[in-house]
Amino acid sequence: MVIVNTKLLDEVLGENILLRRAYNLLENDIEVQSLWYMANVMAVNRLKYNDHGPVHAKIAAGAAVYIYKLLRQNGVESTLIKDGVVDREEYAMLVPLIGGLLHDIGNSVHRDLHEKIGAILAKPIIERVLEKIVEDPYTRFKLRQEIMHSIHCTSYDVECLTIEAGCVKVGDGLDMAEGRARVPYKLGGISIHSISALSIKMVEITTSDKRPVRINVYMSEKAGLFQVDNVLMPKLNSTPLKNYVEVYAIVDNTYLKSYP
């Protein structure tokens, strides 16, 4: 069991040298830093939306990698390995990690179509990171496409075609505690978006007897259901994870609603 927060990414990377190196390369990349910064200039400063910068990127990536690990530990097959795209587990894990970290960089141009723009912007970044950690060029090109797919598929209206990309999309939707909702809402405004966002107090990822992954969303009042119904579930249901994840909405230690 883990809590979705800023500490999770460091925990899930552990001692894995490849993943650590990929993360360090991205975190110290001047272009990535600039795109994260500009994503919040556009989203927060100009559109008055909630965070879409480096903090969100790291929270989403941590959740994505952890969900992927839980799925694999509970016997769910990696799409990339099954389809022959890669033959190493840690290569497949680069998709939720890098995809999670870069999925919102398209906001640096505009909120509109940011998933599609982000996938294109990510291409040269992905290439220079993979060139330093993956020796085989054929594997690098295939991985590049999978990571771009994961970024493109974070859009609500795009179906994820891999378990790995699905982890990115769901991980994105889980960053919603303490006002960090993924439905953009005007900062300082009073609406169902803002009220529901502030109702989410904690998001927990664990496992259960029924499904490999269980997500508990703790809220202070029923208004928080708006976030689960309109953010998390549409994302989850457009991924292959929909058959492996159960979601519970909890208010004051009382189970309010479960999905499915």
pLDDT in tens, 107-116: 999 999 999 9
Q: Where are the beta strands (DSSP E) in the chain?
A: 2-3, 200-206, 213-219, 245-251, 254-259
Q: How many CB atoms lie within 10 A of CB 39?
A: 25
For 168, counting Cβ atoms within 10 Å of its Cβ (0-12 exposed, 13-18 middle, 19+ buried), the class is: buried
Distance of CA 45 to the CA centre of its chain: 23
Task: Please give the single-letter amino acid code of residue 161.
Answer: L
**Which whole-number Å values give the CA distances from 241 to 73, 128, 164, 172, 176, in the listed order?**
14, 30, 9, 14, 19
Could you read off the pLDDT of 224-255 as tens digits, one per residue? 999 999 989 999 999 999 999 999 999 998 99
**Which whole-number Å values give the CA distances from 200 to 172, 195, 204, 226, in the listed order?**
15, 9, 11, 10
Give the whole-number percent of the chain exceeding pLDDT 70: 96
Distance of CA 222 to the CA centre of its chain: 24
Q: What is the pLDDT of residue 181?
A: 66
Q: What is the pLDDT of residue 178?
A: 81
Task: Please give the single-letter amino acid code of residue 188.
Answer: G
Query: Residue 142 in contact with residue 130, Cβ under 8 Å?
Result: no
Say if residue 184 is preceded by a cis peptide, omega within 30 of 0: no
Could you read off the pLDDT of 43-96 as tens digits, one per residue? 989 988 888 999 999 999 999 999 999 999 999 999 999 999 999 999 999 999
Cα of first residue to Cα of last residue in the chain, in angstroms, is: 20
Element housing 22 (H / E): helix 17-27
Q: Where are the domains of the chain?
A: 2-259
Give the whole-number percent of the chain exceeding pLDDT 90: 86
What pTM does this model have?
Answer: 0.95
Average pLDDT, the chain: 94
Task: Please give the single-letter amino acid code of residue 220.
Answer: S
